[in-house]
């Protein structure tokens, strides 16, 4: 993942050019499953997908990378990429929950996920779709002892 701090005009430009809460529906050709995804921000001109995440921590590379891993944001963006197609940017915008005391503004950091990370996440998405097709409701369903932090 590549990350950087936001420039002052980045947020306004991103918000202006992107569709907000863009919804995509499609049938996966390999599994024939009906799918639906809603992206926070989608740039129709470039195909870029951005998902906005709030964070209580400082916006820095280490914490963004940890959040991506802990909460499976790469999997989410891999699924979104199936909706949109192509191989453009897949990014996360991390926004601090509290304003910076000195400036009064909210800190923002961007994380761009590399194509190899997205491709690996898409492989996981395909495996999950395949598991849905193979699901047998007559089988015993295991008890889930723990859930992700989200």
Task: State the average pLDDT over residues 31-41.
Answer: 89
| Nearest CA among 8, 73, 22, 18 for reference residue 48 | 18
User: How big is the chain by its Cα radius of gyration, in Å?
Assistant: 17
Check: pTM over 0.85? Answer yes or no: no
pLDDT > 80? residue 100: no
Q: What is the pLDDT of residue 135?
A: 72
Cα 92 from chain centre: 6
What number is the average pLDDT over the span 15-38? 88
CB of 37 within 8 A of CB of 83?
Answer: yes
Report whether pLDDT(2) > 60.
Answer: no
Q: Of 4-8, 50-54, 85-89, 136-140, which range is least confident? A: 4-8
- What DSSP string describes 77-146? HHHHHHHH-S---EEEEEEESS--TTTSSPPEEEEEPPHHHHHHHHHHHHHHHHHHHH--TTSPPPPP--
Token pair recorded at residue 54: 């709030």
Least confident segment among 70-84, 103-117, 130-144: 130-144
């Amino acid at each position: 993942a590549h990350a950087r701090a936001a420039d002052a005009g980045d947020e306004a430009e991103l918000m202006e050019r992107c569709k907000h809460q863009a919804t995509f529906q499609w049938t996966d050709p390999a599994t024939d499953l009906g799918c639906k995804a809603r992206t926070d921000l989608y740039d129709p001109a470039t195909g870029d997908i951005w998902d906005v995440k709030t964070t209580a921590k400082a916006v820095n590379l280490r914490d963004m990378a940890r959040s991506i891993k802990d909460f499976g944001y790469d999997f989410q963006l891999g699924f979104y990429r199936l909706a949109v197609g192509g191989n453009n940017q897949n990014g996360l915008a991390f926004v601090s929950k509290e304003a910076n005391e000195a400036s009064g503004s909210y800190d923002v950091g961007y994380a761009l996920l590399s194509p190899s990370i997205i491709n690996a996440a898409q492989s996981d998405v395909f495996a999950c779709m395949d598991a849905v097709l193979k699901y047998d409701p007559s089988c015993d369903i295991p008890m889930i002892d723990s859930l992700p932090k989200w």
